[in-house]
Structure 1
Amino acid sequence: MQFPGILWSAMSSLIKEEMQKKIFRPDGQCLDEFIEIVYSAQGRYFLCVSVTKGQEVQISLLKHTRSNLDDKYEKTETWLLKDLVLLDGRESDTDNPHFDMHYDKMYTLEALSCAAKYSFARCLVQLSRRYYKKELKVVNFDTAYIEPTSLSANRGDCMVLMQICFYAFNLVCLSLCPVT
């Protein structure tokens, strides 16, 4: 039996490592967070948050394409976090993956999941505090899921452990069901 959450976590780490190696490290940047977004029917797109050597936080839109067995990533847009006027979750009371980034222009985006949208928002809030010593203006998000907690601050081990427990519980429940 596969563990989808754990499998995604491992795949996510590999994707992050590959993007770091091919796109961010050569530019002297460190990739902090990324999410996959729904952007176009052609190719996969990722919204990435990186920190430059000069400690500028950048948000980049990367297009992923595959040619034979080679994965290619291309930056199609780049914005600075310090120029972000507002991050709007659009609807805080629904499970909604859409959000808007307000710069001089508004960019409407859709994450693959609501959890990814919140992960992205949490990252931006934390980096704004760390590098710019200011609060990022965020609206229409449930703040309980954006503010750092011990679980989200050390999410790697905790999230994997939670996923293992969740799937183990499901396996126990399934084993108790009678087979017809």
Structure 2
Amino acid sequence: MTLISILKSTLQRDVFRNKGDKLIHVLPLAKINKEDAGNYLCVSVSSTNDVHISLITVMEEKMFLKCESSQAWHLKDLTLIDGIDHSQDNAEFCLHFETEIFNLEAHSTASKYAFLRCLCKMNHKYLQHELQWIHFDHDFVGKSHSFLVPDDVIVSMRICLEVFTCACLCSCF
């Protein structure tokens, strides 16, 4: 079992089950320094099929994890996801809601793209319309059709292939 799957089951048990929600996706956010608690964006679906995005802080206390929800938004209030710059390996992005904008940094570029794909799927399934997003590479947002291979692994492999191709081209000169 991976660290993210353990965290996901802990969050489901300690935070989302109490509200009757089902946790769909967990996006680890980059830490600013070593003392920071872990911050995660979570996508969940309620029993009434409302999709929420929650900012969860996870702190270690003795031998236990303490999980606190600091903010939550409805997916229907998300007006735009801005990937900042798709021309380079960049884990930063902005979430634009009706009244505020949040600048965030994912743990990795691949996890940022996996988060966007999850939001697009949830938006299409529960709200029946397309989510607005800009500054993401369209090739990496599309659904992967590989059997039993997570989408973020496919994105990582594509990025590595592009870097390898560029390195080969540069060595030819």
TM class, shorter-length: 0.7 to 0.9
Alignment equivalent of 1:66, drawn from 54, 60, 65: 60
Aligned to 1:17: 9
Taking the TM superposition and a 5 Å limit, the aligned residue runs for 1:1-180 are: 10-38=2-30, 40-41=32-33, 42-103=36-97, 104-151=99-146, 154-156=148-150
| Structure 2 letter corresponding to 1:20 | Q
Q: Structure 2: 5+ residue runs without aligned partners? A: 158-173
SS at match of 2:88: coil
How far apart are 1:143 and its partner, in Å? 1.4
| Structure 1 letter corresponding to 2:23 | L
Give 1 or 2 for the bigger CA radius of gyration. 1
How far apart are 1:12 and its partner, in Å? 1.2
RMSD over equivalenced CA pairs, Å: 2.3
- What is the alpha-carbon distance in structure 2 between the residues aligned to residue 84 and residue 140 of structure 1? 16
SS at match of 1:85: strand
Sequence identity percentage: 31
CA gap 1:142/1:75 in 2 versus in 1, 3 angstroms:
same
